[in-house]
Amino acid sequence: MERDSIKDYGLENVLLLDRMNELDELDVLYPFALDELLCRKTGQGGPAICHIWRHPRAFVMGLRDSRLPGAGDAEMTLQSEGWSTAVRNSGGAAVPLDLGVINISLIMPKKALDSFHFHDDFEKMYGLIRHALQETGCQVDKGEIKGAYCPGEFDLSIGGYKFCGIAQRRQTHAFIVQAFIVADGSGQERASFVRSFYDKAAQGENENDYPLVAAESTASLEQLTSLGAGAGEAFVKAVKRVIASQQTEAGMREAESKLVMPTKEQIMEMANLLRSRYAIPSQ
Q: Which amino acid is at 30?
A: Y
Give the model's pLDDT for residue 1. Answer: 36
1 is a domain residue = no
Instruction: Return the C-alpha torsion angle 156, 160, 161, 167, nearest 10.
Output: 20
- Of 11, 84, 23, give the one whose Cα is nearest residue 53: 23
Q: How far apart are CA 272 and CA 268, in angstroms?
A: 6
255 is a domain residue = yes
150 is a domain residue = yes
CB 187 within 8 A of CB 163: yes
Give the model's pLDDT for residue 188. Answer: 98
278 is a domain residue = no
**Beta strands, E only, the chain:** 15-19, 49-53, 57-61, 84-87, 95-98, 101-109, 141-142, 156-158, 161-170, 174-182
Q: pTM for the full model?
A: 0.95
Question: What's the maximum distance between 2 C-alpha atoms anywhere in the chain?
Answer: 58
* Angle at 215 (CA atoms; ends 222, 28), nearest 5 degrees: 70
Digitized pLDDT (tens) for each residue of the chain, 283 residues in all: 345 799 999 999 999 999 999 999 999 999 999 999 999 999 999 999 999 999 999 999 999 999 999 999 999 999 999 999 999 988 889 999 999 999 999 999 998 766 556 788 999 999 999 999 999 999 999 999 999 999 999 999 999 999 999 999 999 999 999 999 999 999 999 999 999 999 999 987 887 889 999 999 999 999 999 999 999 999 999 999 999 999 999 999 999 999 999 999 999 999 999 999 999 987 6
The region that residue 232 occupies, defined by phi over 0 for left and psi between -120 and 50 for alpha, beta otherwise, is alpha
282 is a domain residue = no
Its domain, for residue 113, covers 6-273
257 is a domain residue = yes
Q: Three-state DSSP class for 271?
A: helix
Number of domains in the chain: 1
40 is a domain residue = yes
End-to-end CA distance of the chain: give it in Å, rounded. Answer: 49
Q: How far apart are CA 149 and CA 147, in angstroms?
A: 7
Q: How far apart are CA 143 and CA 45, in angstroms?
A: 33
- Of 81, 59, 70, 88, give the one whose Cα is nearest residue 190: 59
Give the model's pLDDT for residue 206. Answer: 80
Give the model's pLDDT for residue 113. Answer: 61
Q: What is the 3-state secondary structure (H, E, C) of 209-226?
A: HCCCCCHHHECCHHHHCC
Question: What CA–CA distances, in Å, run from 224 to 4, 55, 186, 195?
Answer: 22, 22, 10, 22
Catalytic residues: 150
Q: How far apart are CA 99 and CA 117, in angstroms?
A: 32
Give the model's pLDDT for residue 111. Answer: 82
CB 33 within 8 A of CB 271: yes
280 is a domain residue = no
Q: How far apart are CA 231 and CA 258, in angstroms?
A: 33
Q: How far apart are CA 240 and CA 233, in angstroms?
A: 11
Q: What is the CATH number of the domain that holds 225?
A: 3.30.930.10
Give the model's pLDDT for residue 4. Answer: 72
- Of 135, 140, 109, give the one whose Cα is nearest residue 241: 135
